[in-house]
Amino acid sequence: MARSKPAPIHIPLPAEEAAAFRRRLHRWYKQHSRDLPWRTTRDPYRILVSELMLQQTQVSRVLDFYRRFLERFPDLESLAKARPQRVLEAWEGLGYYARARNLHKLAKHVTSSPSGIIPSEPVELQALPGVGAYTAGAVASFAYEKRAALVDTNVARVLHRVFAPELNPKSGPGLRRLWQLANELLPRTGKVTWTHNQALMELGALVCSARAPKCTVCPVKRQCASVERFVGGD
């Protein structure tokens, strides 16, 4: 009989450590966050468009496309009614055109559904074309201010380095553990969770970068299990 590996035992994150992490992260975000257009809206459609665009392109290049796309298709209905060719044109230059097709499909799907609105629950969101675990969490949190976790590569890198350097973040179990960590770290309310999630991603993008992390200016370096590895160290 096939024997499965014993599940690793994980001590839950001490409440005090989680709280300290949230507090430091929050303070840092208030001072250092960038002004981005999708951070001033709670329109699920606009959040969705931004998330899909950002999946494969850096912020600086998305900005222009985002603005133009929303001018042509200001809401789900206008997008749903559009010809496929027009949607692809608006996406032209961004690459990964399957995302544009998925977004169009999603718009038609949702507008013809009974409610006609983009769902707010991660499980329902994930059933939509082109929406996986990350995007589902992002829309729930950033559009509906739900108390939902999200893990993209930025967040995965931060949590991996700070709390679980021994983990293989690429493996299935490793990724599941990171989602678990992300959940344990969530603030109490959905409103604060919005900021918390934005801050996690911003830290990963601006400080805890993949190549040369700027540990010296990191707000959570005191509790990071990987600082030594990156500052001067071996």
Partner DNA sequence: TTCCCGTTTC
Partner DNA sequence: GAAACGGGAA
Question: What's the closest the beta carbon of residue 16 comes to DNA, in angstroms?
Answer: 30
**Between residue 39 and residue 78, which ones bind DNA under the rule CB under 7 A?**
55-58, 61
Q: Which of 12, 114, 172, 233 binds DNA (CB under 7 A)?
A: 172
Using the structure block, give the residue that is written with the tokens 């770290």. 185
Is there a contact between 204 and 181 (Cβ–Cβ < 8 Å)?
no
Nearer to DNA, 152 or 202 (CB): 152
132 touches DNA by CB under 7 A: yes
Going by C-alpha positions, the residue among 156, 154, 233 that lies closest to residue 201 is 154
165 touches DNA by CB under 7 A: no
Residues in contact with 9: Cβ distance below 8 Å, sequence separation at least 6, in sequence order: none
How many angstroms from the chain centroid is the CA of residue 35? 17
For DNA, how many residues bind (rule: CB under 7 A)? 27
Question: What's the closest the beta carbon of residue 128 comes to DNA, in angstroms?
Answer: 7
DSSP 82: S
HSE, CB side, 13 Å, CA atoms: give it for residue 97: 10
Residues in contact with 171: Cβ distance below 8 Å, sequence separation at least 6, in sequence order: none
Instruction: Give yes or no: 51 in active site.
Output: yes
Catalytic option among 51, 71, 77, 184? 51
93 touches DNA by CB under 7 A: yes
Sites of contact with DNA (CB under 7 A): 55-58, 61, 93, 95-98, 102, 126, 129-136, 152-154, 171-172, 210-211
Active site residues: 51
